[in-house]
Amino acid sequence: METLKKDIQKGITEKTVRMTGAEAVIKCLLAEGVDLAYGYPGGAIMPIYDEIYKYQDQFHHVLTRHEQGATHAAQGFARVTGKPGIVFATSGPGATNLVTGIADAQIDSTPLVCITGQVGSHLLGSDAFQETDIIGISTPVTKWNHQITKASEIPEVFAKAFYIAKSGRPGPVLIDITKDAQFEEFDFSYKKCEKIRSYRAIPKLNIDKVKEAAKLINSAKKPFIVWGQGVIIGGAEQEFKNFIEKTDIPSASTALGLSAIETKHPLNVGMVGMHGNYAPNVLTNSCDVLIAIGMRFDDRVTGNLETYAKQAKVIHFDIDPAEIDKNVITDVAVVADVKESLVEIMQYVHKTEHKEWMNEFHKLYDVEMKAVINDQLNPTKDGLTMGEVIEGINKETKGDAIMVSDVGQHQMFACRYADFIKTRSNVTSGGLGTMGFALPASIGAKMGAPDREVVAIIGDGGYQMTCNELGTILQTKVPVKIVVLNNSYLGMVRQWQELFFDKRYASTEMVSPDFVKLAGAYDIEAVRVSKREDLAAAIKTMIASKESYFMEVIIEQEDNVFPMIPTGASVSDIRLS
């Protein structure tokens, strides 16, 4: 048995041993190198949880306080490690509670393997207690899903699921297992999946397209790069850095691409998007060659597509052919693994300089500094700003923390002002924009990167959506630092109401509980800061703590995040106030 165990963990065994489907699930996970999962038990998945109990010495399960929290924790783990996050849930409401997190993972290309229990196969379609068609429900938001009704299906389905979740453009998969399949015995053996017929995870690199791209780049007078999370997912950070340094091209990040290169790199000109930096947004409509690398031209990046970079030749590097020409028509598409593409193009691009072009970015950055940034980082008003809180964290962590942000104004302030010196340091909900993401995601991020400081930046609204996960912190003792920026409003919605709805603050003012007392109820040390002179010391104490720590900062109520591209406007019409 000991030899078999070692073989299974290597994923190479061809031997068989008699076991139940429930035990086979754990064996499959061990074979894939998994030793950590998040979840919430229930009747339809109880046989699997019984096996988790038996394998406690090899397999650690984290009991979250809600199934959505389990998905976000798994996302946080996946985002900082690059490994699939594992989630368990029971049938019915347990399974449906996963859907928001799965949808978030799908749009942000985060690998998850979600395992749900299901009623017995003889009850399928009968509206049995806690039966839902989770396969039908999850199909639009998963990369792949499958229902297992026979124990003998488990090894092949799990091997396939892990391959699909990890390969190419990653994403979430879901496996639904009927209860009788969990109890059923069969002869188990496991072999990892290495390919699937008709599924090409990584398209073959077309060298001619690489040469075409290089030709455009070499002839460009005002080239501009926008990179996204694809650079991080592809493990191409160094290759990307080599590329921009050889070509001397100003480069801006999407929100999810942040930290692929250090914030203060001289060719990093900031962030594009609705609340991105002034220069890269405006100059998108001045460049002659726009090079998109591992990004999908999201609407928050492009603004009005009718006016987006119409003067430029567009080169698009992406692993997913479905993204090519979906939103922005390209002149040259390099569809392949981004790391392979960047290595290959280096032999065709010239060593160049673009000093005058870069100076245009510097001039517009100075405009933004005077109009926006100085007021955030060196405010003259009495109330605290979100920007100065983020800057205070920068000073204490030296940019070496993983910042996990929720969704709203605080998210954009975190993305705009956080300093990053290492990759996989910015964890946030991008495409779906899920309030409540940050607290559980910070738990997973800390478990995935235990040697790094993890700071969750959360608004008072989003915090109350998943603050029950403080119970997970209480039970696991995972030392995350929680910062709630409290302006007593649903801040981003209130900002829009101020700017576009004549300050009619409809249902955005928020009365909250005493967050410090709430943290104390979960045995977490907590402090509230409302005065500027107390902020630096409070941050220092929080970061120095070896345990979880909660800090509430009372923020100026009408502290808005600028610049801002109004909905439907051109990126070059970005507002500074």
Catalytic residue positions, numbered? 67, 129-130, 179, 492
Q: What is the rounded CA–CA span in Å between residue 331 and residue 373?
A: 36
CB atoms within 10 A of CB 306: 9
For residue 175, the cross-strand partners are 115, 146
Tracing tokens 């699997």 back to the chain, one arrives at 48
Q: What is the rounded CA–CA span in Å between residue 330 and residue 332?
A: 6
E strands present in 51-111: 60-63, 85-89
Which of 105, 127, 130 shows the shortest CA–CA distance to 116?
130
Contacts of 49 (CB under 8 A, 6+ apart): 41, 61, 88
Contacts of 304 (CB under 8 A, 6+ apart): 568, 569, 570, 571
CA distances from 465 to 69, 92, 93, 261, 460 (A): 10, 21, 17, 32, 9
Angle subtended by helix axes 409-417 and 491-500, to nearest 10: 100
Backbone phi, psi, residue 308, to 5°: -85, 110
CB atoms within 10 A of CB 352: 13
CB atoms within 10 A of CB 264: 10
Q: Which secondary-structure segment (H or E) carries 251?
A: strand 251-253
CB atoms within 10 A of CB 463: 27
For the chain, give the number of residues: 577
Contacts of 110 (CB under 8 A, 6+ apart): 75, 78, 79, 85, 104, 170, 171, 172
Q: What's the distance, CA 231 to chain centroid?
A: 13
